Amino acid sequence: MAGWEKGTSANRRVLVVIPTYNECDSIIRLIPLVLEQAPELEILVVDDNSPDGTGALVERFAETAPRVHLHKRGRKLGLGTAYVAGFRFALERDYDLVLEMDADFSHDPREIPRFLEAAVEADLVIGSRYISEGNTRNWPLRRRLLSQLGNLYAHMVTGMSVRDATSGYRCYRRSLLQRLNLDRISSNGYAFQIEVAFRVWKLGLRIREIPILFVDRVAGQSKLDRRIVWEALWRLWRLRLLSLAHRL
Protein backbone atom coordinates (compact mmCIF):
# COMPACT_ATOMS: atom_id res chain seq x y z
CA MET A 1 0.00 0.00 0.00
CA ALA A 2 1.37 3.42 -0.95
CA GLY A 3 2.52 5.78 1.80
CA TRP A 4 -0.24 8.33 1.22
CA GLU A 5 -2.86 5.60 1.58
CA LYS A 6 -1.60 5.05 5.13
CA GLY A 7 -2.38 8.67 5.95
CA THR A 8 0.86 10.38 4.92
CA SER A 9 1.79 12.47 1.89
CA ALA A 10 4.97 10.54 1.18
CA ASN A 11 5.61 10.33 -2.56
CA ARG A 12 2.04 11.43 -3.29
CA ARG A 13 1.49 13.56 -6.40
CA VAL A 14 -1.76 15.50 -6.63
CA LEU A 15 -3.00 17.48 -9.62
CA VAL A 16 -5.76 20.09 -9.35
CA VAL A 17 -7.48 20.60 -12.71
CA ILE A 18 -9.16 23.99 -13.20
CA PRO A 19 -10.96 24.72 -16.50
CA THR A 20 -11.14 28.40 -17.43
CA TYR A 21 -12.96 30.62 -19.86
CA ASN A 22 -12.80 34.34 -19.09
CA GLU A 23 -11.71 33.94 -15.48
CA CYS A 24 -8.89 36.51 -15.30
CA ASP A 25 -10.52 38.23 -12.31
CA SER A 26 -10.23 35.14 -10.13
CA ILE A 27 -7.66 32.65 -11.41
CA ILE A 28 -4.52 34.51 -10.33
CA ARG A 29 -5.94 34.95 -6.83
CA LEU A 30 -7.03 31.32 -6.70
CA ILE A 31 -3.76 29.66 -7.74
CA PRO A 32 -1.69 30.73 -4.69
CA LEU A 33 -4.49 29.74 -2.31
CA VAL A 34 -4.66 26.26 -3.85
CA LEU A 35 -0.90 25.74 -3.72
CA GLU A 36 -0.62 26.64 -0.06
CA GLN A 37 -3.04 23.87 0.98
CA ALA A 38 -0.40 21.12 0.62
CA PRO A 39 3.18 20.93 -0.69
CA GLU A 40 2.40 18.01 -3.01
CA LEU A 41 -0.26 19.93 -4.94
CA GLU A 42 0.22 20.99 -8.56
CA ILE A 43 -2.23 22.83 -10.78
CA LEU A 44 -3.24 22.37 -14.39
CA VAL A 45 -5.29 25.21 -15.85
CA VAL A 46 -7.13 24.16 -19.01
CA ASP A 47 -7.97 27.39 -20.82
CA ASP A 48 -10.30 27.57 -23.82
CA ASN A 49 -8.59 30.53 -25.50
CA SER A 50 -10.24 33.06 -23.18
CA PRO A 51 -10.73 36.44 -24.89
CA ASP A 52 -10.02 38.22 -21.60
CA GLY A 53 -6.43 36.90 -21.51
CA THR A 54 -6.84 34.31 -18.73
CA GLY A 55 -4.45 31.92 -20.47
CA ALA A 56 -1.76 34.57 -20.89
CA LEU A 57 -1.97 35.48 -17.20
CA VAL A 58 -1.56 31.84 -16.15
CA GLU A 59 1.29 31.38 -18.62
CA ARG A 60 3.23 34.28 -17.08
CA PHE A 61 2.53 32.95 -13.59
CA ALA A 62 3.76 29.47 -14.54
CA GLU A 63 7.10 30.85 -15.74
CA THR A 64 8.17 31.31 -12.12
CA ALA A 65 5.97 28.65 -10.50
CA PRO A 66 7.01 25.09 -11.45
CA ARG A 67 3.92 23.62 -9.74
CA VAL A 68 1.61 25.43 -12.17
CA HIS A 69 0.90 24.11 -15.67
CA LEU A 70 -1.19 25.46 -18.53
CA HIS A 71 -2.96 23.57 -21.27
CA LYS A 72 -4.09 26.05 -23.93
CA ARG A 73 -6.84 25.06 -26.34
CA GLY A 74 -7.59 26.85 -29.56
CA ARG A 75 -11.26 27.56 -28.94
CA LYS A 76 -14.11 27.09 -26.49
CA LEU A 77 -14.56 23.30 -26.26
CA GLY A 78 -16.50 22.98 -23.03
CA LEU A 79 -16.23 21.78 -19.45
CA GLY A 80 -16.33 18.04 -20.02
CA THR A 81 -13.57 17.89 -22.59
CA ALA A 82 -11.45 20.20 -20.40
CA TYR A 83 -11.63 17.74 -17.52
CA VAL A 84 -10.93 14.78 -19.79
CA ALA A 85 -7.84 16.62 -21.06
CA GLY A 86 -6.82 17.10 -17.43
CA PHE A 87 -7.36 13.43 -16.66
CA ARG A 88 -5.19 12.41 -19.59
CA PHE A 89 -2.48 14.86 -18.50
CA ALA A 90 -2.52 13.30 -15.02
CA LEU A 91 -2.40 9.71 -16.26
CA GLU A 92 0.47 10.43 -18.62
CA ARG A 93 2.51 12.00 -15.80
CA ASP A 94 1.74 9.51 -13.01
CA TYR A 95 -0.21 11.68 -10.58
CA ASP A 96 -1.80 9.70 -7.74
CA LEU A 97 -4.86 11.90 -7.20
CA VAL A 98 -6.72 14.36 -9.40
CA LEU A 99 -8.96 17.08 -8.04
CA GLU A 100 -11.35 19.13 -10.12
CA MET A 101 -12.69 22.51 -9.05
CA ASP A 102 -14.16 25.72 -10.44
CA ALA A 103 -12.06 28.82 -11.04
CA ASP A 104 -14.56 31.32 -9.61
CA PHE A 105 -14.15 30.69 -5.84
CA SER A 106 -17.46 28.86 -5.60
CA HIS A 107 -15.30 25.99 -4.31
CA ASP A 108 -13.23 26.90 -1.26
CA PRO A 109 -9.61 25.78 -1.76
CA ARG A 110 -9.23 25.41 2.00
CA GLU A 111 -11.38 22.28 1.72
CA ILE A 112 -8.74 20.48 -0.36
CA PRO A 113 -7.04 18.74 2.62
CA ARG A 114 -10.40 17.18 3.53
CA PHE A 115 -10.67 15.71 0.03
CA LEU A 116 -7.16 14.30 0.25
CA GLU A 117 -7.94 12.73 3.61
CA ALA A 118 -11.18 11.19 2.36
CA ALA A 119 -9.41 9.78 -0.72
CA VAL A 120 -7.40 7.48 1.54
CA GLU A 121 -10.46 5.22 1.71
CA ALA A 122 -12.47 6.21 -1.39
CA ASP A 123 -11.95 6.07 -5.13
CA LEU A 124 -14.08 9.15 -5.79
CA VAL A 125 -14.71 11.91 -3.26
CA ILE A 126 -17.53 14.33 -4.08
CA GLY A 127 -18.03 17.65 -2.32
CA SER A 128 -21.75 17.63 -1.62
CA ARG A 129 -24.11 20.54 -1.02
CA TYR A 130 -26.98 18.22 -0.21
CA ILE A 131 -25.85 16.05 2.68
CA SER A 132 -25.78 16.95 6.36
CA GLU A 133 -23.63 20.08 6.95
CA GLY A 134 -23.45 20.82 3.22
CA ASN A 135 -24.98 24.08 2.00
CA THR A 136 -25.04 26.88 -0.57
CA ARG A 137 -24.61 30.62 -0.11
CA ASN A 138 -25.71 33.61 -2.20
CA TRP A 139 -27.41 31.35 -4.71
CA PRO A 140 -30.63 32.63 -6.28
CA LEU A 141 -33.63 30.48 -5.37
CA ARG A 142 -34.10 29.55 -9.04
CA ARG A 143 -30.55 28.16 -9.31
CA ARG A 144 -30.85 26.21 -6.08
CA LEU A 145 -34.16 24.67 -7.13
CA LEU A 146 -32.76 23.82 -10.56
CA SER A 147 -29.77 22.09 -8.95
CA GLN A 148 -31.85 20.14 -6.45
CA LEU A 149 -34.38 19.07 -9.06
CA GLY A 150 -31.53 18.07 -11.37
CA ASN A 151 -30.08 15.79 -8.72
CA LEU A 152 -33.49 14.31 -7.96
CA TYR A 153 -34.03 13.71 -11.68
CA ALA A 154 -30.60 12.05 -11.98
CA HIS A 155 -31.44 9.72 -9.09
CA MET A 156 -34.84 8.82 -10.57
CA VAL A 157 -33.49 8.08 -14.05
CA THR A 158 -30.28 6.27 -13.13
CA GLY A 159 -30.98 4.86 -9.68
CA MET A 160 -27.61 6.22 -8.55
CA SER A 161 -27.36 6.79 -4.80
CA VAL A 162 -25.16 9.91 -5.00
CA ARG A 163 -26.87 12.91 -3.38
CA ASP A 164 -24.99 15.62 -5.32
CA ALA A 165 -24.19 14.11 -8.70
CA THR A 166 -23.82 17.55 -10.33
CA SER A 167 -21.12 18.78 -7.96
CA GLY A 168 -17.92 19.84 -9.69
CA TYR A 169 -15.69 19.71 -6.61
CA ARG A 170 -14.18 16.22 -6.65
CA CYS A 171 -11.14 14.07 -6.09
CA TYR A 172 -10.34 10.97 -8.18
CA ARG A 173 -7.84 8.23 -7.57
CA ARG A 174 -5.53 7.42 -10.44
CA SER A 175 -6.66 3.78 -10.36
CA LEU A 176 -10.24 4.94 -10.95
CA LEU A 177 -9.29 7.06 -13.96
CA GLN A 178 -7.41 4.11 -15.41
CA ARG A 179 -10.60 2.04 -15.30
CA LEU A 180 -12.76 4.69 -16.96
CA ASN A 181 -12.89 4.61 -20.73
CA LEU A 182 -12.30 8.33 -21.28
CA ASP A 183 -13.07 7.98 -24.99
CA ARG A 184 -16.63 6.96 -24.15
CA ILE A 185 -17.44 9.97 -21.98
CA SER A 186 -19.60 12.10 -24.26
CA SER A 187 -21.22 14.71 -22.01
CA ASN A 188 -19.68 18.14 -22.13
CA GLY A 189 -21.70 20.47 -19.91
CA TYR A 190 -22.80 19.90 -16.34
CA ALA A 191 -24.06 16.49 -17.48
CA PHE A 192 -20.39 15.51 -17.50
CA GLN A 193 -20.36 15.35 -13.71
CA ILE A 194 -23.43 13.10 -13.65
CA GLU A 195 -22.08 10.81 -16.36
CA VAL A 196 -18.73 10.28 -14.66
CA ALA A 197 -20.34 9.65 -11.27
CA PHE A 198 -22.73 7.15 -12.89
CA ARG A 199 -19.91 5.30 -14.64
CA VAL A 200 -17.94 5.11 -11.38
CA TRP A 201 -21.03 3.89 -9.52
CA LYS A 202 -21.68 1.19 -12.15
CA LEU A 203 -18.09 0.00 -11.77
CA GLY A 204 -18.82 -0.64 -8.11
CA LEU A 205 -16.04 1.63 -6.91
CA ARG A 206 -16.08 3.46 -3.60
CA ILE A 207 -17.78 6.87 -3.69
CA ARG A 208 -17.80 9.11 -0.65
CA GLU A 209 -19.56 12.45 -0.31
CA ILE A 210 -18.23 15.08 2.08
CA PRO A 211 -20.10 18.29 2.95
CA ILE A 212 -19.05 21.55 1.33
CA LEU A 213 -20.31 25.12 1.31
CA PHE A 214 -20.89 26.23 -2.27
CA VAL A 215 -20.70 30.01 -2.70
CA ASP A 216 -22.06 31.67 -5.83
CA ARG A 217 -19.44 33.47 -7.90
CA VAL A 218 -18.72 37.10 -7.04
CA ALA A 219 -16.99 37.96 -10.33
CA GLY A 220 -17.32 36.92 -13.95
CA GLN A 221 -20.31 35.35 -15.63
CA SER A 222 -22.02 32.01 -15.06
CA LYS A 223 -21.54 29.45 -17.87
CA LEU A 224 -24.94 27.82 -17.27
CA ASP A 225 -27.42 28.20 -20.12
CA ARG A 226 -30.54 26.45 -21.43
CA ARG A 227 -28.56 24.26 -23.83
CA ILE A 228 -26.51 22.83 -20.95
CA VAL A 229 -29.67 22.05 -18.99
CA TRP A 230 -31.27 20.23 -21.93
CA GLU A 231 -28.09 18.25 -22.53
CA ALA A 232 -28.23 17.00 -18.95
CA LEU A 233 -31.88 15.98 -19.29
CA TRP A 234 -31.57 13.83 -22.40
CA ARG A 235 -28.13 12.38 -21.74
CA LEU A 236 -29.33 10.77 -18.53
CA TRP A 237 -31.73 8.61 -20.53
CA ARG A 238 -28.94 7.74 -22.95
CA LEU A 239 -26.78 6.60 -20.02
CA ARG A 240 -29.65 4.55 -18.63
CA LEU A 241 -30.20 2.81 -21.98
CA LEU A 242 -26.49 2.13 -22.44
CA SER A 243 -26.37 0.66 -18.96
CA LEU A 244 -29.35 -1.60 -19.63
CA ALA A 245 -27.68 -2.78 -22.84
CA HIS A 246 -24.37 -3.36 -20.98
CA ARG A 247 -22.63 -0.95 -23.33
CA LEU A 248 -21.19 1.53 -20.84
In CATH, 11-244 is 2.60.40.290: no
pLDDT score recorded for residue 222: 55
pLDDT score recorded for residue 215: 94
- Evaluate whether 154 touches 165 at the Cβ level (below 8 Å): yes
Gap between the Cα atoms of 84 and 220, Å rounded? 24
Listed by start position, the domains of the chain span 11-244
- pLDDT tens track for 70-129: 999 999 999 999 999 999 999 999 999 999 999 999 999 999 999 999 999 999 999 999
pTM: 0.90
Gap between the Cα atoms of 129 and 136, Å rounded? 6
pLDDT score recorded for residue 1: 39
Query: How many alpha carbons lie under 13 Å from residue 158 in its C-beta half-sphere?
Result: 31
Residue ranges of the chain with pLDDT lower than 70?
1-10, 217-232
